[in-house]
Amino acid sequence: MSPASASSPRLRALVLGSGGGGGVPQWNCGCRVCRLAWSGDERVKPRTQSSLAVSVDGANWLLLNASIDMRQQILATPALQPKGDGRHSPIAAVLLTNTDVDHAAGLLSLRERQPFTIWGTQAILDTIGANRIFDVVGRAIVPRHAVKLGEAFEPLPGLTLEVFPVPGKVPLWLEENEVKTDQIGEGTVGVAVEAGGRTLLYAPGCARVTDDLKMRIAAAHALFFDGTLFADDEMIVNGLGDKTGRRMGHMPLSGPGGTLEELAACAPARRILIHINNSNPILIEGSPEEARVKAAGWDIAFDGMEVVP
């Protein structure tokens, strides 16, 4: 690291997990992408489930979501491993963007009486608060801070965040008969991370692009966006499930109203797809679908990717 970068705040993001729910390969899946991954084919990188780590000093890190693959991600990431003698962790804070299993269950891996802080909207904190298994992460040691939509807060010195509503739905494990799949509220949010005048936007789940989201994206230097499915019906067509992407609260990349079309004009120079489901053919290097998203200006996140916005 040069002296200049050591002294001035410099926003850095590490992709801990670039896969969607289930990861790549998924434990019970033999779809085209998973088959290549199971066989060790170099065209498909294995991916853990959705999470990003951000820091300005490289010593203290904020996790954007607590992936169910947390332990594996820490093992793969020296920056997140304990330094010095005794108990220690560079993980100083965790922000949740929703309460899906892939994004929240990793809190259970952070349960060994280690101080850090948890941040989320009141609705998100209420959901984990109503589920007593999360009390294993003791509130006296790990306080939970509610944040309001559109209000700036500083979970770590020099790192300013703002959460904003993104159309989405209740987590799968709380679904009842009627599910509104593009609800605007506190249940699904995106987050803007700002440090030293640089802004990164993270929205791993998005059912629909709103005007507010377009404005925020236009002002950001880097965007990590929902890359769950390539085609809305790919789970159905491949015999993997009976839901469309939109039914799962994720807009597809292709097709009318898809991400490639919706964000063609307003995405920043650095735009990266994350939370990519194992059914998505962009995960196969050299595939026509990968070529299409790259030609549209998108990068495809991989575990261990580092981004300096």
Per-position DSSP letters for 61-97, written without gaps between them: EEEES--TTHHHHHHT-GGGS--SSSS--SEEEEE-S
Question: How far apart are CB 208 and ligand MLT at their closest, in Å?
Answer: 15
Tokens at 186, concatenated: 């506190």
Q: In the numeric block, which tokens belong to residue 126?
A: 């209420």
Instruction: Please list every residue from 181 through 210 that binds ligand MLT, using CB under 6 A.
Output: 205
Task: Name the minimum Å distance from CB 218 to Mn ion.
Answer: 26
Asked if residue 102 binds Mn ion (CB under 5 A), the reply is yes
Query: What DSSP line would sit under 124-189, residue for residue?
Result: HHHHHHTSGGGGGS-TTTS-EEE--TT--EEEETTEEEEEEE-SB---GGG--SS--TTB-SSSSE
Q: How far is the CB of 96 from ligand MLT (least distance, A)?
A: 13
User: How many residues are listed for the chain in this entry?
Assistant: 309
Site string for Zn ion, 28-67 (x = CB under 5 A): -x-x--x---------------------------------
Does 100 engage in binding with Mn ion (CB under 5 A)?
yes
- Of the pair 26, 287, the CB lying nearest Zn ion is at 26
Amino acid identity of residue 72, one-letter, is: Q
User: Residue 246 CB, nearest distance to Zn ion (Å)?
Assistant: 20
Q: Which of 69, 100, 194, 303 binds ligand MLT (CB under 6 A)?
A: 100
Instruction: Say how far apart CA 182 and CA 103 lie, in whole Å.
Output: 18
The residue (of 205 and 252) whose beta carbon lies closer to ligand MLT is: 205
Site for Mn ion in 257-276 (CB under 5 A): none
Question: Which region, left, alpha or beta, applies to residue 20 given φ > 0 means left and ψ of -120 to 50 means alpha?
Answer: beta
Q: Does 23 bind Mn ion (CB under 5 A)?
A: no
CB of 171 to Zn ion, least distance (A): 21
Residue 16 binds what, of Mn ion, ligand MLT, Zn ion, none (CB under 5 to 8 Å, by partner type)? none
Partner touching 149 among ligand MLT, Mn ion, Zn ion, none, CB below 5 to 8 Å by kind: none
Q: Any contact of residue 248 with ligand MLT (CB under 6 A)?
A: yes
Q: For residue 217, which amino acid is it?
A: I
